[in-house]
Chains A and B, each alone.
Chain A
Amino acid sequence: MWFKINQRSSVPIYEQIKDNIKNLIFKREINDGETLPSIRELANEIRVNPNTVSRAYRELENEGIILARQGIGYLVITKPKMIKTILIEDAKKELMDIIIKLKNSGVNIEELKEVIEKLWKEM
């Protein structure tokens, strides 16, 4: 397909596949109603084991982004608005570690909010 996997990254490979597909949907390179490549095709293309692609597809299906349809393949059923919700969910996971660390070190929520607002404005 259209992305590259880093085998040595500490990010699980199935997560990399999911992130890449979400990104392509978000950038509208894959659109609602289109199909993803078959598990074998994608495994071949990005050089990972089919078992890993299969897990990524299964999770995307659980998240409501694709739908497995017999005879058709993996259908993208999502709208960009839904993807925004999913991105926020992902961000929560990433923020968690930072928040735990700050909290354990005695930083309070007001101080953290200040930092986020400052960074947001600087962008």
Chain B
Amino acid sequence: MERNVMKIKQLSKYYKNFRAIKNIDLSVNKGEVTVLLGRNGAGKTTTLKSILGFVNYSGEIVILNSNINDVRDKISYIPEDKSLYENLNVKNMLKLYESIFKGFNADKAINLVERFNLPMNKKIKSFSNGMKTSLYIVFSLSQNADLFIFDEPTSSLDPIVRENVLELIRQLVIDGKSVLYTTHIIPEAEIIADKICIIEEGELLFCDYLDSIKENYVLITIPKKKNKNYAFNDVFCSLELSNAFNLIVEKKESSKFMSAETVTESLDLNTFFQTLIRGRKNDTNK
């Protein structure tokens, strides 16, 4: 059985002279949720657009052992432009999806439409933003795809619907499907991710299992002393604060930093992300 459902090598994309993403290496494994985590403008959507073949790019993208154009019916994603079916109601949209998408699960879709309290017979153009988003998620989840791609799917949803959607996405991997999910919301990434890939200014800074972050790295705080120069070797990243340094260090390297003055803590995703991104910002400003 093939473990990779998607493999990207050295993906870059320029818009004129602006470098949107640079040398991205990324893979999505079968039965896992891979989360592309990054701030607004970090390059998440450009990465997805390249994967879906909506923009030209340099690099190599292999999906389900093929080119995107040969496997489109095996990939489910939510279009950015949600105005396509404005004049239909949900009932008509169901019929349309059944005729377009092989193996579309209408029963599941109806079930979810009810669960999200969406009206069957009203025109979609009367829906609120949140309702439209829910609707598109429902239709995406009901497709018979192998790889599901979600680009910040929960951004206009209320907290209850959001939890519901995350649980439904989890259900996909329980059923053996694979998911690529982008977000800038850390608690969401924590709930849903197997693997976390952190993107910043178009570059992938880190990619590993969420549990590996917690397992392999620690946070070490070293208080600053006056008139002393600090240089740290063997750190994954460092962030200079006004009175201390925060270092993220691999556990196996951590013993040499430990002393009476230093504080060693285990890491959660938020601290990891903040230290990595803010530390990098400091470095580039110097």
Q: Which residues does chain B contribute within 8 Å of A7, judged by CB atoms?
A: 187, 190-191
Range, interface on chain A: 20 to 34
Residues from chain A with a CB closer than 8 A to the CB of B215 are: 12, 15
Bound-complex Cα distance A52 to B195 (A):
11
A49 touches B264 (CB 8 A): no
Instruction: How many A-B residue pairs have C-beta atoms within 8 angstroms? Tell me.
Output: 65
B209 smallest CB distance to A (angstroms): 9
B194 within 8 A of A: yes
Judged by a CB distance under 8 angstroms, whether A77 is at the interface is no
Task: Please name the residue on chain A nearest to B269 by beta carbon.
Answer: A8
Contacts of A100 in B (CB 8 A): 255, 258
Q: A10 and B268 in contact (CB under 8 A), knowing A51-B31, A100-B258?
A: yes
Asked if B253 is at the interface (CB within 8 A of a chain A CB), the reply is: no
Which of B6-14, B51-59, B84-92, B167-175 lies at the interface with chain A?
B167-175
Residues in B neighbouring A40, C-beta threshold 8 A: 174
| Bound complex: CA A12 to CA B266 (Å) | 10
Q: For the complex, what is the distance from the CA of A50 to the CA of B215, rounded to whole Å?
A: 19
User: How many residues on B have C-beta within 8 angstroms of the other chain's C-beta atoms?
Assistant: 29
Q: Across the two chains, which residue of chain A brings its CB closest to B167? A: A47
Minimum distance in angstroms from B37 CB to a CB of chain A: 15
Q: Is residue A105 contacting chain B, with contact meaning CB distance below 8 A?
A: yes
A13 within 8 A of B: yes
- Contact call B214/A11, Cβ cutoff below 8 A: yes
User: What separation, in Å, do the CA atoms of A13 and B211 have in the docked complex?
Assistant: 6
A9 within 8 A of B: yes
CB distance from A67 to the nearest CB of B (A): 23
Residues of A whose CB lies within 8 Å of any CB of B are 7-15, 40, 43-44, 47, 49-52, 55, 97, 100-101, 104-105
Provide a sorted-by-A list of 15 A–B residue pairs whose CB atoms are within 8 angstroms.
A7-B187, A8-B187, A10-B265, A10-B268, A12-B210, A12-B214, A13-B210, A15-B211, A47-B167, A50-B31, A50-B174, A51-B31, A51-B173, A101-B258, A104-B260
